[in-house]
C-alpha cells in the first residue's frame, strides 16, 4: 500500500506543485484546506482517489489531527499576508505551524517539512518575518528532525510577483516600486516543490535550507528583466521608504476603518518594512547544492507565462518575424 502525505495549504501556489510531485511519486495525497470545494482541481494530479482535498482549520487542534491521521509525512505550506483578522500572522505562521508540528509528533509522523521564507528572523522589524521565525522555532521545538525550507521570492505561472507588475505595466507608463535597490534571488516554484518532495520522502537530510535561484538582482533590475520579456518600455520609479510608509499607512487605515471590508492589497506598512532588507541566500547556508538540485533560471521560465502581457500577446513572435520580410 502506498504511503500517505498530508499537505496543509496544498491547493495554494506552492502547495499544488508539491501535491502534484508527491502524487507522481506514488504517494496518496491529502490536501488540507479551509475550502475543499475550491480545491477540487487537485484531484486531477493523480489517479482516481489518489489526491483528496479535505476540510481543515489550522487554528483548531481536532481539525489538524483529523487531517494528518494515518500520514507518514506532513508538509505545511500555509502562510498569510494578512496582519489582522482570525487568520493573522501570529495565528497562522507562528501558532498554526507549531500546532501542526506538535500534533504530527504526537501522531507518530515520520517526516515534517515546513515552508518558511528567507528573512525569517525573530528580531526583524516586519511582523511577517518575525512570525515566520516564531513558526520555525515552534516547529523545531515540537519536531526536532523537521526540515525547514526558506525560499526567496517564488516565481512561476501563477505567481503574485511578476504577474502583478506585468499587469500594472499595461496600465501606466511608470512602474512604481518600493525598495528598488533591495536584492532578491527569485526561485522557480517547481524547484521548491522538488526540495519539499525530497525532504518528505527522506531523500534529503533534515535541516534548514535557504532556496534561491541562480541569479540575485535588485528589485529594479528584476522589473527591467520582466519588461524586456513582455516587450514594454516603462520608467521604473523608486518610491522612497518614508513616502511608501505614509502611503501604506493610509491604505491600512482604510482597511481598518471599513472593518476589513476593503482589503489592503496595494501596499501595507509591514511589506514596506520587509522591503528594507535583502532577500537572498545567506553566505554559508545550506541550499540547492546540498540537495543536488540545479535551480531553473528566470530567463528559461518567464517567457513561458508572461507572454500574455506583451502588446501583441501570443502573436508577438509572428509580428517580429513579419518585420523581417522583404518586399519583392
Number of domains, the chain: 1
Does the residue 105 lie in any domain?
A: yes
**What span, in angstroms and rounded, lies between the C-alpha atoms of 115 and 284?**
20
CB 151 within 8 A of CB 211: yes
Q: Give the chain's largest Cα–Cα span.
A: 78
Domain that holds residue 122: 4-158+186-214+279-295
CATH at residue 12: 3.40.50.720
pLDDT tens for the chain, 328 residues long, are 589 999 999 999 999 999 999 999 999 999 999 999 999 999 999 999 999 999 999 999 999 999 999 999 999 999 999 888 899 999 999 999 999 999 999 999 999 999 999 999 999 999 999 999 999 999 999 999 999 999 999 999 999 999 999 999 999 999 999 999 999 999 999 999 999 999 999 999 999 999 999 999 999 999 999 999 999 999 999 999 999 999 999 999 998 888 877 888 899 999 999 999 999 999 999 999 999 999 999 999 999 999 999 998 887 777 777 777 755 4
Does the residue 304 lie in any domain?
A: no
Overall residue count recorded for the chain in this entry: 328
Q: What is the pLDDT of residue 169?
A: 96
**What span, in angstroms and rounded, lies between the C-alpha atoms of 101 and 107?**
10
Please list, residue by residue across 255-266, b when 16 or more beta carbons sit within 10 angstroms of its beta carbon and e when fewer do.
beeeeeeeebee
Does the residue 210 lie in any domain?
A: yes
Does the residue 322 lie in any domain?
A: no
CB 199 within 8 A of CB 312: no
Q: What is the pLDDT of residue 260?
A: 77
CB 109 within 8 A of CB 87: no
Q: What is the pLDDT of residue 1?
A: 58
Does the residue 324 lie in any domain?
A: no
Does the residue 181 lie in any domain?
A: no
Q: What is the pLDDT of residue 83?
A: 84
Does the residue 172 lie in any domain?
A: no
CB 189 within 8 A of CB 17: yes
- Alpha helical stretches, state H, the chain: 13-24, 61-68, 89, 97-106, 127-142, 162-169, 189-201, 219-229, 241-257, 269-274, 288-291, 298-306, 316-322
**What span, in angstroms and rounded, lies between the C-alpha atoms of 147 and 19?**
17
**What span, in angstroms and rounded, lies between the C-alpha atoms of 211 and 220?**
21
Cell numbers given for 314 = 501570443
Query: Which residue do the cell numbers 511582523 mark?
Result: 127
* 324 contact partners, CB below 8 Å, separation of at least 6: none
Residue 252's CB: how many other CB atoms inside 10 A? Answer: 18
Backbone angles phi, psi at 67, to 5 degrees: -65, -30
Q: What is the pLDDT of residue 326?
A: 58
Does the residue 243 lie in any domain?
A: no
Among the listed residues 34, 110, 39, the one whose alpha carbon sits nearest the alpha carbon of residue 70: 110
- State the virtual CA torsion across 270, 100, 14, 175 in degrees, nearest 10: 0
Amino acid at each position: 500500500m502506498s504511503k500517505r502525505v498530508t499537505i496543509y495549504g496544498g491547493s495554494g501556489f506552492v502547495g499544488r506543485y508539491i501535491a502534484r510531485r508527491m502524487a507522481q511519486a506514488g504517494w496518496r495525497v491529502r490536501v488540507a484546506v479551509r475550502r475543499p470545494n475550491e480545491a477540487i482541481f487537485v484531484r486531477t494530479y493523480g489517479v482516481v482517489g489518489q489526491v483528496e482535498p479535505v476540510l481543515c482549520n489550522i487554528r483548531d487542534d481536532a481539525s489538524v489531527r483529523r487531517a494528518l491521521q494515518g500520514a507518514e509525512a506532513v508538509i505545511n505550506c500555509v502562510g498569510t499576508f494578512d496582519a489582522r483578522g482570525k487568520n493573522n500572522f501570529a495565528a497562522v505562521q507562528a501558532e498554526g505551524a507549531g500546532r501542526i508540528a506538535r500534533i504530527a509528533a504526537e501522531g507518530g509522523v515520520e517526516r515534517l517539512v515546513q515552508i518558511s521564507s528567507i528573512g525569517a528572523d525573530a528580531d526583524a522589524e516586519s511582523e511577517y518575518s518575525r512570525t515566520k521565525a516564531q513558526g520555525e522555532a515552534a516547529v523545531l521545538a515540537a519536531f526536532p528532525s523537521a526540515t525547514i525550507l526558506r525560499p526567496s521570492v517564488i516565481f512561476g505561472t501563477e505567481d503574485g510577483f511578476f504577474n502583478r507588475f506585468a499587469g500594472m505595466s499595461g496600465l501606466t507608463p511608470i512602474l512604481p516600486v518600493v525598495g528598488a535597490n533591495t536584492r532578491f534571488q527569485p526561485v522557480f516554484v517547481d524547484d521548491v516543490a522538488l526540495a519539499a518532495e525530497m525532504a518528505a520522502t527522506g531523500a534529503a537530510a533534515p535541516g534548514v535550507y535557504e532556496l534561491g535561484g541562480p541569479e540575485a538582482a535588485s528589485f529594479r533590475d528584476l522589473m527591467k528583466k520582466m519588461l524586456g520579456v513582455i516587450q514594454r518600455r516603462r520608467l521604473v520609479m523608486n518610491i522612497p521608504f518614508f513616502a511608501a510608509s505614509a502611503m501604506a499607512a493610509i491604505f491600512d487605515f482604510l482597511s481598518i476603518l471599513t472593518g476589513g471590508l476593503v482589503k489592503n492589497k496595494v501596499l501595507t506598512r509591514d511589506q514596506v518594512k520587509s522591503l528594507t532588507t535583502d532577500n537572498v541566500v545567506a553566505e554559508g547556508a545550506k541550499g540547492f547544492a546540498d540537495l543536488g538540485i540545479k535551480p531553473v533560471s528566470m530567463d528559461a521560465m518567464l517567457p513561458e507565462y508572461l507572454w500574455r502581457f506583451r502588446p501583441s500577446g501570443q502573436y508577438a513572435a509572428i509580428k517580429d518575424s513579419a518585420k523581417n520580410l522583404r518586399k519583392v
